[in-house]
């Protein structure tokens, strides 16, 4: 399976989880309290991290791809970071960067 990935910075993680859960029709797949949340829908891998100074800004985009080997991140010609990763590689990176999720 291949899902488009988009990552945003948000002002308030808890309020954003409520809002985006309603918009996506499901609860997050992973939450690290006060830091990070990620949803996996049939078509979309959507993540947010609490960063009030950058609230509403795009952090990066890319693809979750079952055929991906590990995790890569490269900028495009406009300076936007594009990530390419497997679900397993992303789950490992979440723990490395944010800590162990309270939900999975």
In a domain, 103, yes or no: no
Range of the domain at 22: 2-98
The structural domain count of the chain equals: 1
pLDDT of residue 104: 47
In a domain, 28, yes or no: yes
Record the tokens describing residue 53, joined without a space: 């100074």
In a domain, 23, yes or no: yes
Strand order from edge to edge, sheet including 2-10: 30-32, 36-40, 44-50, 2-10, 58-65, 81-85, 71-75
- pLDDT per residue rounded down to tens, the chain (104 residues): 899 999 999 999 999 999 999 999 999 999 999 999 999 999 999 999 999 999 999 999 999 999 999 999 999 999 999 999 998 989 888 888 888 888 64
What is the rounded radius of gyration, in angstroms, for the C-alpha atoms of the chain?
13
We report the CATH number of the domain holding residue 15 as 3.10.180.10
In a domain, 59, yes or no: yes
In a domain, 49, yes or no: yes
């Amino acid at each position: 399976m291949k899902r488009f990935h988009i990552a945003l910075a948000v002002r308030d993680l808890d309020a954003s989880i409520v809002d985006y859960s309603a918009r996506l029709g499901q609860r997050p797949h992973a939450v690290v309290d006060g830091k990070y949340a990620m949803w996996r829908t049939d078509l979309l891998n959507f993540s947010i991290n609490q960063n009030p100074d950058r609230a509403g800004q795009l952090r990066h985009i890319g693809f979750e791809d079952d055929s991906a080997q590990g995790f890569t991140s490269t900028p495009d010609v406009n300076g936007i970071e594009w990530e390419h990763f497997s679900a397993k590689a992303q789950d490992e990176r979440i723990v490395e960067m944010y800590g162990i999720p309270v939900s999975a």
